[in-house]
């Protein structure tokens, strides 16, 4: 064990295990999570070499192997709780996505949600037993965000009682679905339904794409891998071109909409239930932001505790780089954000489950707010985490660029969250649409509740000009900072709403007014989400009974809030929420907070409790022995399998005689 | 040719060729660059499949092959002008780094600069003819930034007139040098020189590491590849461990410092000449920032012109995504930055050559300013470009994640510039050291010149309190915006200097005061660099005679300046340079500028004149035929070499029977 990192742990002012238990939910949950993780870590079937040493085909192969074993073992162990399956799966694949993700996460769940009872009988058991391996084919080359314009068609032929599926253009080729390229033999295909000469919009169809015996593509099916990507090397994201592929009428998912044998069409009663899955996935991504950022912080902070460089004081030994203010200023706000997002992720998960309960009782009233919150927070947290991972990587200097640091893999695995399940700017605009609607309702005298209730107050504050409003912020008081974030959000929602109004007064259409206000609308959503995050962080503190843990998290919460103000100081000054002298005070206060956090930094990342196998980083090792491990890792690099690379004989040696 | 992109080109208000010539320097220079590029593009020896389809070993192999051929062809063609070699090389390797980079860029140049005439006779010709292939081994596992603490030793043994080289610890293993792992047979090794029992600090030694006949590592030498990295797959960055490796006395580079046969040491007369190379490389990196960003903008803007998605107005066809304000707001400020950095890069290159002339005449007076400017601008432009590449990638939606978009490669190839040749935060602090020194000189009444002359004015403004100063900005006038950036820089340099002073008054050491002011110091450097960039962009406009080109670049310069103000609005408000109502006006003005730029966006990226082979992006194709090309590319993916992947037979098929 590296002595520096030992000393860090000795100097911490709180008990890491207490905080870990809090993050897991309870001591028992921590125990069980570790138990599940150790099942994987101690399982010889899941030992593997670094995927970074393999070709893409080898990585795909290894992932299929692990997924197959995982499915058998989960059944053998009798692990069936969704959270426990998640722990196990995450540990097996070390955080990477895998070829069966869409089969398990989308194909099976879509069957459960949208198949009729008869269809469930036909398809579910074979799918559960992996005779049918499926994916969910929605996105096309030409359409991702705007799915209403998908071009693939399913035309009903009453004479044979079949649907005929076609991708009529290049842009209508299905593109991106995970597991589609090589793994799946079925796909749930989203297509425009035509029957009796009329289009009824998008519906879902179960389409066999490969032979169940030979796994060869079926007639009319062109299917393959879409090629190498930024990360996701284990996943065979695929393309699918359908040409006159016929499927039985019974292969349209018919729990809601139906096509009868004669071709007549029955509309679905409501689409609100499918809407829930989308919200759920976005809410979960908030938790992924927390995980990606907390992993990155664990690596960068542990490494900064054992790396010594340059000199602070002449003649003294080189300090730990964690002692540099510039390094603390990079990492500690991200550490604070990692905690903030962890709590926001927990809140989103809890809220989703609470509201789902209401929905099952027919009460949809809280769904719009949750939908808006999930969209905005998905964008807000993924953008922050995405940039934060790279800050952590660069805070490790050159060594952060090595794959063995773990940071390049974290980045490429995480960055797609900014785009999939709703492109972030589109998400911010969706949230803005909700905020502007609420703003208008409040102006019309409606009483709003939930996270947007501040828009009620906004109306009360309205008559008072900003400049005469007293400065509200006490920079040492978290509640006061929450209030400032709230008023900033209120102000920016108002600015966005007024921009829309102004554009409309120039007598342009609603749509153009919306487009011409995008800058203000995105800013409003961002401010709203920022407020919600600060608010939830502050709220979490009230639940913490352990005084040592409370104290250190309170410091982090203050840092998170004050750092966010300095990054957006123009907004706070503009809204009259801060005075110019206060801005300098905030910088001083932030410096004091960095000093307060410094002795607890390593303990704070230890509390996330990533074991070395999960973290898979030589820089983030728990024991701090980074250089030895890096050297051992490098020696195993494929280029070192021979002392002399074949290119020497082929090119370099012959070249000499020619020059 | 895609009709959308044709229309864009027809609607441009200026002639792209005129702007291209301006960027190249002249019409003749454009012609010659294209001529050199076409030599490569039409050369069958340089045709190759997408490197993303190859394993790392294959990529390394292909790069060695191309480098070997390149060296022969350059001699055959008689291309010897450094700029023309650069064009040719860049085109051969499509912007990727390659195994011989350090041989060509560091080994040969270090010989030229630091070898004695006798040493040049011995080593240069074999190195020129690639019998000796060398690298430059400075960084160690434990030390990158603080090279004074490198641990490798070279101890002189007078009895044999040899140096004995050792890497005494794990942390002293040489780590990172390009071409060291497999390619080089020599290395210039930086080591602590010991002679007659005394350490004389770092010196450079020519160390043979592999046998000239067999290419096997020599006795005492452990050498290999440091393993996969984030990008740079063509380069065999290496490790080198030396154990009692003996080299003749003549292998120490002795142009300046010398060790005589009896072991007595002669000091070098000055170290300022080696200092110049470092400044040169940093100045060149500014140009690389411009290239990376202009390539990324070319891809994202052309794709945004052909991609249609969602609806702006109900019932109308889906608009080009370039028509969304949110998309313009992401891309056009980056386009403006790409132009700004291009001009800054040209300025840095010109200035370097001008000052080198002075230095050769013994005048070092301008070197400190150039050194500070190169450090700061290297950090400022690489950080902006680094983040900007990712914004461009995400602006392409899902398809930006595919390697065929070209964007992942641009990112991983570029991002190391934030760390190598001086870690960016360290660079910012170096610039700050110069700025604070100048600030103090100005306070003491010295008259400063060059980019820091505004610190003279600062002293004149001093007595006047900020709040009573008239608001200076005219947001429609570039000269006024330059002035505002200048005053912001002056203000932030003052804040940093006062922070240092305040810390010192709390009677802490100079070094602690410096560390405790890092946040303010980095901000000051950032503001200084931002001012210089805006200033140079404005200055460039005065050189442009073509009115159409002038007009469109003026619009870009305004956008660059105003967008930078909104990102840092707190600073401008705090310094009293802007009023609150002006901030809203700036947002309106930015929107108007986006509208102005919109019809010229494609022509502005066309003017960078990247041919399709260099850009290597299906999304950025000149003809706009993106979907067809993407599909063709995907079909060539290695995973598609067989219809059924072997993992099906190995794992998936057997699994079914077990479940």
For B543-598, the pLDDT digits (tens) are: 999 999 999 999 999 999 999 999 999 999 999 999 999 999 999 999 999 999 99
* Average pLDDT value for residue range A489-509: 94
**Residues of B belonging to the active site:** 421
* Average pLDDT value for residue range B81-108: 94
The distance of Cα A208 from the centroid of its chain, to the nearest Å, equals 31
Contact B643 A64 (CB under 8 A): no
As given in the structure block, the two tokens for residue A583 are 């801005």
In chain A, how many H helices and how many E strands? Answer: 25, 11
pLDDT at B464 over 50: no
Q: At what angle do helices B27-41 and B16-24 cross, to 10 degrees?
A: 90
Which residues touch A170 (CB under 8 Å, ≥6 apart)?
Answer: A141, A142, B627, B628, B631
Q: What pTM value is reported for the model?
A: 0.97
- Residue A272 pLDDT: 66
Torsion over CA: B477, B482, B487, B489 (sign): positive
- Residue B470 pLDDT: 54
* Average pLDDT value for residue range A284-299: 98
pLDDT tens by residue, A52-79: 999 999 999 999 999 999 999 999 999 9
Instruction: Please pick, among A390, A421, A423, A457, the residue that the annotation labels catalytic.
Output: A421
Residue in A631, A625, A599 with CA at minimum distance from that of residue A612: A625
**Vertex B605: Cα angle to B602 and B610 (nearest 5):** 125
Per-residue pLDDT band at A464 (split at 50, 70, 90): very low
* Cα distances (angstroms) measured from residue A495 to each of A74, B114, B379, B587: 53, 63, 35, 11
User: Over A427-448, what HEC string results?
Assistant: HHHHHHHHHHHHHHHHHCCCCC
- Residue B385 pLDDT: 98
Contact B144 A647 (CB under 8 A): no
> How far does B172 lie from chain A, in Å, by closest CA?
10
pLDDT at A470 over 70: no
Confirm or reject contact between A650 and chain B (CB < 8 A): yes
Of B318, B517, B634, the CB nearest to A225: B634
- Residue A48 pLDDT: 83
Which residues touch B394 (CB under 8 Å, ≥6 apart)?
Answer: A418, A419, A423, A424, B400
**Residue of chain B minimizing CA distance to A423:** B397
- Residue A460 pLDDT: 54
As given in the structure block, the two tokens for residue A284 are 């979960």
- Residue A365 pLDDT: 87
**Residue of chain A minimizing CA distance to B591:** A516
**Residue with the two structure tokens 């900064």:** A304
Instruction: Return the beta strands (E) in B25-78 as ranges.
Output: none
Confirm or reject contact between B647 and chain A (CB < 8 A): yes
- Residue B471 pLDDT: 59
Instruction: Return the beta strands (E) in A495-571 as ranges.
Output: none
pLDDT at B364 over 90: no
> How far does B526 lie from chain A, in Å, by closest CA?
14
Of B56, B400, B627, the CB nearest to A142: B627
CATH topology of domain B134-268: Butyryl-CoA Dehydrogenase, subunit A; domain 2 (2.40.110)
Q: What does the alpha-carbon distance between residue B83 and residue B74 come to, in Å, rounded to a whole number?
A: 13
**Residue of chain B minimizing CA distance to A100:** B652
- Residue A311 pLDDT: 86
The interface predicted TM-score (ipTM) is 0.97
* Average pLDDT value for residue range A248-264: 97
Name the average pLDDT for chain A. 95
Confirm or reject contact between A138 and chain B (CB < 8 A): no
Confirm or reject contact between A325 and chain B (CB < 8 A): yes
pLDDT tens by residue, A41-58: 999 999 888 999 999 999
- Name the strand (E) or helix (H) holding A650: none
Q: Any binding-site annotation on A362?
A: no
As given in the structure block, the two tokens for residue B322 are 């370039």
- Residue A358 pLDDT: 87
Q: Which of residues 582-621 of A touch B (CB under 8 A)?
A: 583-584, 587, 590-591
- Residue A458 pLDDT: 63
The answer to whether the beta carbons of residues B623 and B615 sit under 8 Å apart is no
**Vertex B277: Cα angle to B271 and B279 (nearest 5):** 100
Neighbours of B479 (CB within 10 A): 10
- Name the strand (E) or helix (H) holding B329: helix B325-360
Q: What does the alpha-carbon distance between residue B554 and residue B546 come to, in Å, rounded to a whole number?
A: 12
Q: What does the alpha-carbon distance between residue B396 and residue B385 come to, in Å, rounded to a whole number?
A: 17
Name the average pLDDT for chain B. 95
Q: What does the alpha-carbon distance between residue B326 and residue B68 come to, in Å, rounded to a whole number?
A: 47
Of B149, B309, B520, the CB nearest to A145: B309
Confirm or reject contact between A98 and chain B (CB < 8 A): no
Confirm or reject contact between B236 and chain A (CB < 8 A): yes
* Average pLDDT value for residue range A606-615: 96
Contact B64 A570 (CB under 8 A): no
Tell me whether strands A186-195 and A134-137 are parallel, antiparallel or unpaired: parallel
Chain A residues whose beta carbon lies within 8 Å of the beta carbon of residue B627: 141-142, 170-171, 173
The answer to whether the beta carbons of residues A403 and B229 sit under 8 Å apart is yes
pLDDT at A469 over 60: no
pLDDT at B466 over 60: no
User: Over A341-405, what HEC string results?
Assistant: HHHHHHHHHHHHHHHHHHHHCCCCCCHHHHHHHHHHHHHHHHHHHHHHHHHHHHHCHHHHHEHHH
The one-character DSSP state at B140 is B
Confirm or reject contact between A406 and chain B (CB < 8 A): no
* Cα distances (angstroms) measured from residue B106 to each of A236, A364, A611, B154, B275: 42, 67, 42, 21, 14
Torsion over CA: B65, B70, B71, B72 (sign): positive
Confirm or reject contact between A105 and chain B (CB < 8 A): no
Count how many residues are written for chain A.
659
Q: What does the alpha-carbon distance between residue A555 and residue A593 come to, in Å, rounded to a whole number?
A: 7
- Residue A28 pLDDT: 98
pLDDT tens by residue, A107-156: 999 999 899 999 999 999 999 999 999 999 999 999 999 999 999 999 99
The answer to whether the beta carbons of residues A239 and A174 sit under 8 Å apart is yes
SS3 B229: strand
User: Over A542-554, what HEC string results?
Assistant: CCCCCHHHHHHHH
Chain A residues whose beta carbon lies within 8 Å of the beta carbon of residue B407: 230
Contact A639 B173 (CB under 8 A): no
As given in the structure block, the two tokens for residue A563 are 């750092």
pLDDT tens by residue, B332-342: 999 999 999 99
Per-residue pLDDT band at B59 (split at 50, 70, 90): very high
Q: Which of residues 370-389 of A touch B (CB under 8 A)?
A: 386-387
pLDDT tens by residue, B609-641: 999 999 999 999 999 999 999 999 999 999 999
pLDDT tens by residue, A5-27: 999 999 999 999 999 999 999 99
As given in the structure block, the two tokens for residue A289 are 């932001």
The answer to whether the beta carbons of residues B190 and B137 sit under 8 Å apart is yes
- Residue B361 pLDDT: 86
**Residue of chain A minimizing CA distance to B174:** A631
Chain B residues whose beta carbon lies within 8 Å of the beta carbon of residue A587: 519-520
Residue in B458, B454, B530, B451 with CA at minimum distance from that of residue B495: B458
Confirm or reject contact between A465 and chain B (CB < 8 A): no
> How far does B499 lie from chain A, in Å, by closest CA?
10
Contact A229 B401 (CB under 8 A): yes
Scored b (16 or more CB within 10 A) or e, B158-191 reads eeeebbbbbbeebbbbbbbbbbbbbbbbbbbbbb
Contact B518 A325 (CB under 8 A): yes
**Residue with the two structure tokens 């003017």:** B607
**Residue of chain A minimizing CA distance to B576:** A580
- Residue A274 pLDDT: 65
Q: Which of residues 558-587 of B touch A (CB under 8 A)?
A: 566, 568-574, 580, 583-584, 587
Confirm or reject contact between B310 and chain A (CB < 8 A): yes
Neighbouring-strand partners of residue A174: A140, A240
């Amino acid at each position: 064990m590296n002595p520096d990192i030992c000393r860090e742990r000795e100097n911490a002012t709180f008990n890491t295990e207490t905080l870990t238990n809090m993050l897991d939910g309870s001591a028992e949950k921590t125990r069980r999570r570790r138990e599940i993780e150790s099942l994987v870590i101690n399982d010889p079937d899941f030992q593997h070499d670094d995927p970074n040493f393999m070709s893409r085909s080898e990585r795909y192969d290894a992932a299929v192997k692990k997924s197959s074993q995982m499915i058998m073992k989960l059944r053998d162990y009798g692990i069936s709780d969704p959270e426990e399956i998640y722990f196990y799966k995450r540990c097996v694949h070390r955080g990477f996505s895998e070829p069966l993700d869409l089969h398990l996460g989308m194909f099976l769940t879509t069957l459960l949600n949208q198949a009729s009872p008869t269809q469930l009988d036909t398809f579910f058991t074979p799918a559960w037993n992996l005779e049918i391996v499926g994916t969910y084919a929605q996105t096309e080359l030409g359409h991702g965000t705007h799915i209403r314009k998908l071009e693939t068609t399913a035309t009903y032929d009453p004479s044979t009682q079949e649907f005929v599926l076609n991708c009529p253009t290049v842009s209508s080729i299905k593109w991106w679905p995970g597991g589609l390229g090589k793994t799946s033999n079925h796909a749930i295909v989203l297509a425009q339904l035509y029957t009796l000469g009329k289009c009824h919009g998008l519906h879902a169809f179960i389409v066999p794409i490969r032979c169940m015996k030979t796994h060869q593509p079926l007639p009319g099916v062109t299917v393959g891998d879409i090629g190498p990507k930024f990360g996701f090397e284990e996943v065979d994201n695929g393309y699918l071109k359908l040409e006159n592929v016929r499927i039985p009428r019974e292969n349209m998912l018919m729990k809601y909409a139906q096509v009868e044998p004669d071709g007549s069409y029955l509309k679905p009663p409501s689409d609100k239930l499918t809407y829930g899955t989308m919200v759920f996935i976005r809410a979960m991504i908030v938790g992924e932001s927390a995980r990606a950022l907390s992993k990155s912080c664990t690596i960068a902070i542990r490494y900064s505790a054992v790396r010594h460089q340059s000199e602070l004081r002449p003649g003294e030994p080189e300090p730990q780089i964690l002692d540099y203010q510039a390094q603390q200023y990079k990492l500690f706000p991200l550490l604070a954000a990692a905690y903030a997002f962890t709590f926001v992720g927990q809140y989103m998960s809890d809220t989703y489950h609470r509201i789902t309960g209401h929905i099952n009782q027919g009460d949809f009233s809280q769904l719009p707010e949750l939908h808006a919150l999930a969209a905005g927070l998905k964008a807000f947290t993924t953008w922050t985490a995405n940039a934060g991972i790279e800050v952590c990587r660069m805070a490790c200097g050159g060594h952060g660029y090595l794959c063995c640091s773990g940071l390049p893999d974290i980045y490429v695995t995480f960055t797609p969250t900014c785009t999939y399940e709703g492109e972030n700017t589109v998400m911010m605009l969706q949230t803005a649409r909700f905020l502007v609607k609420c703003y208008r309702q409040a102006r019309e005298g409606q009483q709003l509740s939930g996270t947007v209730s501040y828009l009620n107050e906004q109306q009360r504050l309205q008559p008072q000009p900003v400049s005469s409003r007293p400065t509200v912020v006490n920079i040492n008081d978290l509640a006061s900072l929450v209030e400032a974030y709230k008023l900033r959000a209120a102000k920016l929602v108002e600015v966005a709403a007024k921009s829309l109004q102004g554009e409309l007064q120039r007598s342009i259409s609603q749509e153009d007014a919306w487009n011409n206000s995008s800058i203000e609308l995105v800013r409003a959503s961002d401010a709203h989400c920022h407020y919600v995050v600060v608010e939830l962080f502050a709220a979490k503190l009230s639940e913490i009974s352990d005084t040592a843990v409370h104290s250190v998290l309170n410091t982090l919460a203050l840092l998170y809030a004050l750092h966010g103000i300095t990054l957006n100081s123009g907004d706070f000054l503009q809204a009259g929420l801060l005075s110019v002298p206060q801005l300098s005070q905030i910088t001083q206060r932030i410096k004091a907070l960095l000093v307060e956090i410094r002795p607890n930094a390593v303990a704070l990342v230890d509390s996330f409790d990533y074991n070395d196998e999960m973290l898979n980083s030589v820089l983030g090792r728990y024991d701090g022995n980074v250089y030895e491990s890096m050297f051992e890792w490098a020696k195993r690099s494929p280029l070192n399998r021979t002392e002399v690379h074949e290119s020497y004989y082929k090119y370099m040696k012959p070249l000499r005689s020619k020059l």
